[in-house]
C-alpha cells in the first residue's frame, strides 16, 4: 500500500471521466489496508440540509444545502465538521471522530447541543468508497492527484470553484491544471 491519503484531498485528474467523479474533490477520511472512504466536497445539491437533518439545523454551515458525498449509500447522511480549537489532550466526545487538522466526522445520532464548539458542519448524502488496494490502483493509473487539504476546504463558500482553486494553489506543473477548462474540446 502507498502512503495513506487520509486527511488529504483526492482531486480528479482530467483523465477521470466517470460522471460520479469527474472534476470532483474528495476529502479522504480513511485510507488503509482495509480500503478507503471519503466524501466529495464540491457537489452541493438543491436540497436543504437543515430540513433533512433538523436536529442539527442550528449547527449546519451556511448556505445550509445538502452535498452529494458520493455514489455509495446515497440514502444515508454524513456530517463533516471543523473543530479546530479542540485540545488534543482532551478525551474525544462521542459525537466526534477526528481525521486531520481539526476536520472530522460528526455523529449525527448524537445530541447536537454537545457539539456547541463545532465551528463548521456540512451534511452529505452518500460517500465514496474503495475496496482494499483499489484507490492505490486508481492513483497509480493517474485518475487522482493527491494533495494536502486545508481545514477550510470542505467548508468553502464556493464549492463550484474548489477543483480549480485546489489545483491552482499547488506548485509546479500541477498548478497549471488550475486553469484547465471544464470542456477541453471547446478550448
Tell me whether strands 8-12 and 144-148 are parallel, antiparallel or unpaired: antiparallel
Q: What's the pLDDT at 90?
A: 75
Q: Which residues of the chain have pLDDT under 70?
A: 1, 86-88, 180-187
CA distance 77 to 180: 32
Please indicate, yes or no, whether the overall pTM of this predicted structure exceeds 0.85.
yes
- Per-residue pLDDT of 144-164, as tens digits, reads 999 999 999 999 999 999 999
d(CA 130, CA 81): 22
pLDDT of residue 162: 95
Q: How far apart, in whole angstroms, are the C-alpha atoms of residue 74 and residue 68? A: 8
Which residues are CB-neighbours of 113 under 8 A, at least 6 positions away? none
- The structural domains of the chain, ordered by start, are 8-178 (3.40.1740.10)
Q: What is the pLDDT of residue 87?
A: 63
Amino acid at each position: 500500500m502507498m502512503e495513506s491519503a487520509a486527511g488529504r484531498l483526492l482531486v480528479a485528474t482530467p483523465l477521470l471521466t466517470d460522471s460520479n467523479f469527474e472534476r470532483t474533490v474528495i476529502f479522504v477520511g480513511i485510507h488503509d489496508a482495509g480500503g478507503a472512504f471519503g466524501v466529495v466536497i464540491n457537489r452541493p445539491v438543491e436540497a436543504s440540509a437543515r430540513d433533512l437533518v433538523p436536529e442539527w439545523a442550528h449547527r449546519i454551515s451556511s448556505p445550509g444545502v445538502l452535498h452529494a458525498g458520493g455514489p455509495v449509500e446515497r440514502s444515508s447522511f454524513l456530517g463533516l465538521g471543523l473543530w479546530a480549537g479542540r485540545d488534543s489532550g482532551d478525551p474525544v466526545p462521542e459525537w466526534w471522530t477526528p481525521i486531520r487538522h481539526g476536520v472530522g466526522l460528526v455523529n449525527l445520532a448524537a445530541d447536537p447541543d454537545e457539539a456547541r464548539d463545532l465551528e463548521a458542519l456540512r451534511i452529505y448524502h452518500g460517500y465514496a468508497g474503495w475496496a482494499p488496494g483499489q484507490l492505490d490502483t486508481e492513483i497509480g493509473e493517474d485518475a487522482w492527484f493527491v494533495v494536502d487539504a486545508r481545514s477550510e476546504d470542505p467548508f468553502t463558500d464556493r464549492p463550484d470553484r474548489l477543483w480549480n482553486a485546489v489545483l491552482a494553489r499547488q506548485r509546479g506543473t500541477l498548478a497549471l491544471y488550475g486553469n484547465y477548462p471544464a470542456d477541453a474540446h471547446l478550448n
